[in-house]
Structure 1
Amino acid sequence: MLVKRLAEFRGYIDANTARIPNYGERRRCGEAVSSATAESAVNQVVSKRMVKKQQMRWSPRGAHLLLQVCTRILNGDLTADFAR
């Protein structure tokens, strides 16, 4: 089982090498090595939308469903859902 999982992991790494950042190289070039800025911005937007004072706010269920749709779009799975 471990050998199978390691082979799957190796396949994933090989298939996604171009999208996996080399943090050592980025640091040497003075580039950002953290997603903290982006994560903070997302947290601010989501927090603002979840507040009751907001005219157009998200419910926890609505936010969860929206996240599922966005994930399926990014994974390229949403088109297949509508083809059924």
Structure 2
Amino acid sequence: MAHASPNLYVTGPTPETRAAAYWQLLRETLSDDDIAAIRNYLQQQRALGRDNFRAMVEAKTQRFAGIRPAHRPPCKWCQGQFRC
């Protein structure tokens, strides 16, 4: 049977207090820009890292690994004037 590590409860006795402690740790360590970048990459399921890391991921997967701007690009026929 698996047992919880004693270190689990160092940050708090309940899942809510542990989550709050981890969130506080992230807020102290990461800037708002870093947190936004992490969210963007996670939402698009892309590789977050340096350019050489993303290039390696793209080469191995044969897929684009960076993030793209939100929304679809404008239609090439109507230049975004209509909903195509």
Normalising by structure 1, what TM-score? 0.25
Larger radius of gyration: 2
| Higher share of residues assigned helix | 1
TM-score, normalized by length of structure 2?
Answer: 0.25
